Amino acid sequence: MLAENLKRLRNNKGLSKRTVARDLGVHDSTYGKYELGHREPDLETTQKLANYFNVTVDELLGRVDERSSVQSESVLKAKERVMNILDKRNMTLDDLLVGIYPQYQLNDGFGTPELTYDDNDLTNIAEFLNIPYDYLAGLSDDEPPDESYPELVVPEILKGTLIAFDNGDTEGLTQSEVDAIASIVAALKRRKKPMNNDET
């Protein structure tokens, strides 16, 4: 089941085996054996694969049983709606994770908080994106209007740090702090939100 799922997920993303292997940091032949079912990835690599393809480990391994099929359909619908909204707003999944998990820091695409799209996740996503929970949960098909896109507000305490960072001043910052601030600055620039001291 794992081998079939890896091949399907990779093809759905239009990626080559070599690209996935490179992104995961494994040899081409090693990843090829995963898809052929000739080799099983260890636990750490399995988690990396799940994060890479934005699925749960259970989904990747085919552990979802019939009793959860209805729930799986609602999760797939919620994922699809979230990704469509992010696409329309020119946002990435990283932008969303930074928004709903303030402690989140980029780590080469791995080690990210795993969204399960349960009630708690959907509530946080709906609040951050300023859209109705009912739409995300599939209880309503009324798409939110474009004007509901949220303003990205920068707290006063962060403005000076962000402006200094954007001007190349990283003195006194650890690498993890640089990575975290870089992700915020990138999100602000994608949203074309000016970083100046007149902002409220």
| DSSP assignment string, 54-117 | T--HHHHHT---GGGHHHHHHHHHHHHHHHHHHHHTT--HHHHHHHH-TT----TT-SPPPP--
The average pLDDT across 166-195 equals 64
pLDDT confidence of 12, banded at 50, 70, 90?
confident
pLDDT confidence of 38, banded at 50, 70, 90?
very high
Q: How do residues 105-152 score in pLDDT, each as one tens digit?
A: 444 444 455 677 888 888 888 888 888 988 988 888 888 776 444 555
Question: Quick check: 159 pLDDT over 70?
Answer: no
More reliable by pLDDT, 69 or 84? 84
pLDDT score at 70: 45
Range 2-61 has CATH code 1.10.260.40: yes
The structural domains of the chain, with segments of one domain joined by +, span: 2-61, 67-148, 156-190
Q: For residues 136 and 144, what is the distance between their CA atoms, to the nearest angstrom?
A: 10
More reliable by pLDDT, 195 or 59? 59
pLDDT score at 149: 47
More reliable by pLDDT, 39 or 180? 39
The average pLDDT across 188-192 equals 55
